[in-house]
Structure 1
């Protein structure tokens, strides 16, 4: 264990390996459990309204070293709230659509829609709290927290549920046009003392983070705290959802348990863990924080 002053920024080189969509399907849950027990996976982001959320929580309770966060779903997925409470957000089946530009405009300009959005975000935090799992981090499906209204609500509501860390979806070499906005998001997180990664890998290769993609990402990690995220799942018939038709879930799982990936990761010498390992909390005011990586 390495003692770190409570106010100090953690080591400039650290790595978090996260599986998104935990709870979406039992194939995803099987992959998360296997990749954590036998591979390099350190964290998973839970869809609390996913069809297999209960199974995911049960597995997470068996894996005390797996860091679990909340994957807030506001697009292309099932809502936590009943449709009667958020009728302007979901369809007759209680699912969000995938018209994120249109929905983003409605979130910003329509107070009634915004109030329903706040209700749903709170419901997802409440559902996570009810699992009894420690909240390691928060992120959103399809990075919807880049929207200013969504981010504001996450910061406001998340503070009530112990949110301390959030994914910053900034990939090195990404869109130049997006960089000023990412800088604003980073500044807002810093002002609220929400810990975050410096860079992420997995946006450009979403659904295609196979062994070659992992090894390339590890060979080109920028300085700072990096997160590599992916969408592993056990092999099965057909895509898990229509929007994942092009995803190579089984190849992503194979990468997470690949000896070559493990060797490449070990060769970097970079400490690994979840957000709560990289950004620990002091045991009590005035005591040093402990980083166990």
Structure 2
């Protein structure tokens, strides 16, 4: 498996491969816990992922940031975090003043769900906190490659109140792409109103010159009864084979099935399955057989900056 940078740039600039299929392999939730950090760092060392997303408010964010700061091949985006959904693991804003009170419970933690964020959060509080998360990542030595929304709390998926224009403001300010798949407008679970909202947001990103990806591959977080590694491998491999032309991102939540992860989620075994898939030689061979080119979010960011 090799990461293609120069060839991808030439494809976009000279249109040599208009039907090319490009894949970003991203490890989610870097900094959430020790078990996920260890797995993600192992994947970086094996060069089987091309990007990761750090949760700056996460309890283990410093370990993740220290690794990224000393491993320049580790391309890291900022996973803008406004929720704290695990009952046993809690975190709150990096902003340490009253400007973000609407983002917190009485205990000082983020709200547990995106629906609560949409209902409770003041827009300026969101703007303040997400900007401070980006600045904190930079102070920790990270050169952010892109912005993303943890649990979709900026996207308005729960009740239709999104914060995407606010996020796009920051993308322009920091010259960063945003992870929003264009294919979201075709998802059956969205209402007609939400589809129209996302069309407007995609148009806005295009006008602002903010790159978006074309499609997203991600499995349900929860492990279904009886679901094993062959099921995970089959589902992900089929999705890879069905990739269309353009840029697709495969998002995984890798971890070892440790006691720590079992205290966090009943789906800890599935986290290890996604780790194993990234390490699977059959997956690597599939990418070769399908002539899929691997890129990273850093590649997307550099194309954005070259275009300006």
TM over 0.5: yes
Task: Decide which of 181, 186, 190 is 2:206's aligned counterpart.
Answer: 190
Deviations 1:211-246 (A, max 9, x none): 23321221211222100101111231154674x433
Q: CA deviation at 1:101?
A: 2.5
Kept after mapping to 2: 8 A contact 1:136/1:276:
yes
SS in 1 for 2:163: helix
SS in 2 for 1:214: helix
Task: Decide which of 117, 126, 144 is 2:153's aligned counterpart.
Answer: 144
Q: What are structure 1's unaligned runs of at least 5 residues?
A: 108-112, 287-293
Task: Decide which of 268, 280, 283 is 2:302's aligned counterpart.
Answer: 280
CA distance in structure 2 between the aligned counterparts of 1:116 and 1:161, rounded to whole angstroms: 19
Inter-CA distance 50–223: structure 2 relative to 1 (3 Å threshold): same
Kept after mapping to 1: 8 A contact 2:25/2:49:
yes
Q: Provide the aligned C-alpha RMSD in A.
A: 2.9
Give the equivalent residue in structure 1 for 2:240.
218
Deviations 1:29-60 (A, max 9, x none): 11111112225211100001111111001222
CA distance in structure 2 between the aligned counterparts of 1:279 and 1:115, rounded to whole angstroms: 26
Give the equivalent residue in structure 2 for 1:157.
170
- Does the alignment pair 1:133 with 2:154? no
Instruction: Single out whichever of 85-94 and 51-60 deviates more from structure 2.
Output: 85-94
Give the equivalent residue in structure 2 for 1:4.
10
Inter-CA distance 176–60: structure 2 relative to 1 (3 Å threshold): same
Q: What are structure 2's unaligned runs of at least 5 residues?
A: 1-5, 85-90, 224-228
Give the equivalent residue in structure 2 for 1:70.
78
Q: CA deviation at 1:79?
A: 1.8
Give the equivalent residue in structure 1 for 2:87.
none
Q: CA deviation at 1:151?
A: 0.9
Inter-CA distance 229–282: structure 2 relative to 1 (3 Å threshold): closer
Give the equivalent residue in structure 2 for 1:116.
125
Task: Decide which of 37, 40, 45 is 1:32's aligned counterpart.
Answer: 40
Q: CA deviation at 1:125?
A: 1.3
Deviations 1:123-174 (A, max 9, x none): 1111112123221111111122323542122112333233234333746765
Inter-CA distance 158–99: structure 2 relative to 1 (3 Å threshold): same
CA distance in structure 1 between the aligned counterparts of 2:107 and 2:81, rounded to whole angstroms: 15
Give the equivalent residue in structure 1 for 2:100.
86
CA distance in structure 1 between the aligned counterparts of 2:206 and 2:177, rounded to whole angstroms: 11
Q: CA deviation at 1:5?
A: 8.4
Q: CA deviation at 1:284?
A: 6.5
Q: CA deviation at 1:117?
A: 1.8
Kept after mapping to 2: 8 A contact 1:27/1:236:
yes
SS in 2 for 1:228: strand
SS in 2 for 1:64: coil
> Which protein has the bigger helix share?
2
SS in 1 for 2:53: strand
